[in-house]
Structure 1
Amino acid sequence: MSAASLHRFIPFLAVLGSVTALGIGTSWAKQWLFPAVGAQGTTAIRVGLSAVLMLLLWRPWRWQLSRADAQAIALYGAALGGMNLMFYMSLRTLPFGLAVAIEFSGPLAVAIWSSRRAVDFVWVALAMAGLGMLLPLGLNGSTLDPLGVAYALAAAVFWALYIVFGKRAGHLHAGHSVSLGLLVAALVVVPVGVAHAGAALLTPTVLLIGVAVAAVSSAIPITLEMMALKRLPKEAFGIMISMEPAVAAVLAMALLGEHLTALQWLAIGCVVAASMGSAMTAGRRQLQPVTAA
């Protein structure tokens, strides 16, 4: 492979690396932090330490911030915190891959709503078919925990709000908005984690694992995505990010031993296809799914 060909593949490898790192970090969190500090404590550790890492990396105090931008970042960060907390709460009873698939309905809804073209009804139908196979509606034989599904759906709503509010701060440097957004998110979720886990959050083992989770599931994916977005059209980026539910399910099977049924794999396939299709037909739309957890 020539150097030019390799250069063209770098953005796609960056997105794949981002999705993979996010899945590995979340799997580590569920495997090692959940037993020690619970979902609430895990969220506090992951978001809090991610905020510290990103603040040290980007030093957002170097940039000026208007009142309107500060309000946009506050909303964006609050949505980010709510999304992370609800998603980790869903992981207490749902397989990782299925939680991501349900959560993906949030950004998919935003992307489709911003177009409303006839072809998008195909993607709506695919997404609804996938969710219909997963949600415990009493008609499909789903054994998923209803409370876990409710948390995943709440995470989807927060993810949609995160995209909408993030759009308002989209003119800012990504490092500026992301680092400050994570700071706000930490202010939202850390008190919840402290109330649940208390002093257990400060044990050396938890902090050490937390730093690894924060780096692998936040700092690395965000850096790789920023690299990819500079070189990829937003539609191509959206298509690549759409792999996340499938990658999460594969990693959960390998790292957590979470094996899915054929119907559940089909459901994930429907959600991935709907997200990819929406991204492919997005044209000039500007709202795109971004990494969640």
Structure 2
Amino acid sequence: MATMVGSGLSNQSGAAIGSLAFPVLGPTGVVAVRQYVAALVLLAVGRPRLRSFTRRQWGPVLLLALVFGTMNLSLYTAIDRIGLGLAVTLEFLGPLTIALAAARRRVDACCAVIAAAGAVTLMRPQPSTDYPGMGLGLLAAVCWASYILLNRTVGRRVPGAQGAAAAATVSAVLFLPVGVVLVLRHPPTAQSVGFAVAAGVLSSAVPYLADLFTLRQVPAAAFGLFMSVNPVLAALVGRFGLGQELGLVDWSAIAAVVCANGLSILVPRR
């Protein structure tokens, strides 16, 4: 339990710290640094033998790299526009949709309705509603769902963590021009780079290693149930770490999305 709590807090705290570098690096620059850190960590863990990959293996790996980069870029841009709690909640609709789409129970249909109601409530028209930001949050959800499906394919075709490491490396290479342009046009400060590196370590390295350890000790259902609490953790970190206020209606909508996932996992399957 302590490991799962630490993983969740690390992930959301990393995103919050990364947002502190937005004024200098922008979301794109922060994501670029995060991709570099993720690639270094996964290369050390997975040690992929890239030269031995076949065309059949490279196909899903390249798609995974593209989705990985797009997912992080859309999420961090959404965080910049609508705040950490709302962005992570919208992104969480991706894996929740994957879980509910494979189910055939009435309770899962009810969970889908509850989650949809929560999402609609979060995106309700208001004078300050940022629809591009909301759209980016939903794009992150689509990418996360695609990330899950592609990871399964990569896992079947590439042994161990080699596929994930290769995808992270390709994604980092794709973001290299971003880093070059940033350095040449607007040299970053040491502090902003430090924030971005911290985001990479806390949101990529620590959660990956913690989840790898947790999945060996905790049943998948319990792990999935705890993962559903991430939107709440994100909202709390945004509130107390970044001063991002949420109204009662927004908190209720986040709770609806979390409860939909928890109910789907907790109700016994026949």
Both proteins in one fold, TM over 0.5: yes
Range 191-200 or range 157-166, more displaced: 191-200
2:22 is matched with 34
> Offset at 1:59?
2.5
Q: 1:190 to 1:113 in 2, by over 3 A?
A: farther
SS of the residue 2:256 aligns to: helix
2:149 is matched with 164
Q: 1:160 to 1:261 in 2, by over 3 A?
A: same
Q: Which amino acid in structure 2 is aligned with residue 222 of structure 1?
A: Y
List per-residue Cα deviations over 1:137-157 (Å, max 9, x = no partner).
Answer: x3xx47331110011111111
* Residues paired across the two proteins, number: 269
Range 177-186 or range 21-30, more displaced: 177-186
1:44 is matched with 32
List per-residue Cα deviations over 1:64-116 (Å, max 9, x = no partner).
Answer: 54432322222122111110011111112111011111111111111111123
- Answer yes or no: is the 8 Å Cα contact 1:124–1:274 preserved in 2: yes
> Which residue, 101, 106, 126 being the options, matches 1:113?
101
- Answer yes or no: is the 8 Å Cα contact 2:85–2:234 preserved in 1: yes
- Answer yes or no: is the 8 Å Cα contact 1:239–1:276 preserved in 2: yes
Q: Distance in 2 between matches of 1:155 and 1:72?
A: 19
Q: Which amino acid in structure 2 is aligned with residue 75 of structure 1?
A: L
List per-residue Cα deviations over 1:26-66 (Å, max 9, x = no partner).
Answer: 000012x1011111111111112221233234422399544
Q: 1:189 to 1:21 in 2, by over 3 A?
A: same
Q: Identity of counterpart residues, as a percentage?
A: 30
List per-residue Cα deviations over 1:196-243 (Å, max 9, x = no partner).
Answer: 675546654343333222111110000000111112222211101001
Q: 1:35 to 1:197 in 2, by over 3 A?
A: farther
Range 41-50 or range 160-169, more displaced: 41-50
> Offset at 1:15?
1.7
> Offset at 1:174?
5.2
Root-mean-square deviation (CA, aligned residues, Å) is: 2.4
> Which residue, 196, 202, 224 being the options, matches 1:216?
202
- Answer yes or no: is the 8 Å Cα contact 1:89–1:148 preserved in 2: yes
SS of the residue 1:116 aligns to: coil
Q: Distance in 2 between matches of 1:23 and 1:201?
A: 27
Pair 1:237-2:237 in alignment: no
- Answer yes or no: is the 8 Å Cα contact 1:194–1:201 preserved in 2: no
Extract unaligned runs of 5+ from structure 2. Answer: none
- 1:36-185 mapped onto 2 (5 Å cutoff): 36-61=24-49, 65-136=53-124, 138=125, 141=126, 143-171=128-156, 172=158, 175-185=161-171
> Offset at 1:247?
0.4
> Which has the larger helix fraction?
2
Pair 1:16-2:5 in alignment: yes
2:14 is matched with 25
- Answer yes or no: is the 8 Å Cα contact 1:115–1:282 preserved in 2: no
Q: Distance in 2 between matches of 1:129 and 1:76?
A: 30
Structure 1-normalised TM-score? 0.83
- Answer yes or no: is the 8 Å Cα contact 1:97–1:249 preserved in 2: yes
Q: Distance in 2 between matches of 1:160 and 1:109?
A: 8
Q: Distance in 2 between matches of 1:142 and 1:110?
A: 32
Q: Distance in 2 between matches of 1:163 and 1:282?
A: 23
SS of the residue 2:155 aligns to: coil
SS of the residue 1:60 aligns to: coil
1:274 is matched with 260
Structure 2-normalised TM-score? 0.90
- Answer yes or no: is the 8 Å Cα contact 1:82–1:185 preserved in 2: no
> Offset at 1:177?
2.9
1:225 is matched with 211
- Answer yes or no: is the 8 Å Cα contact 1:83–1:154 preserved in 2: yes
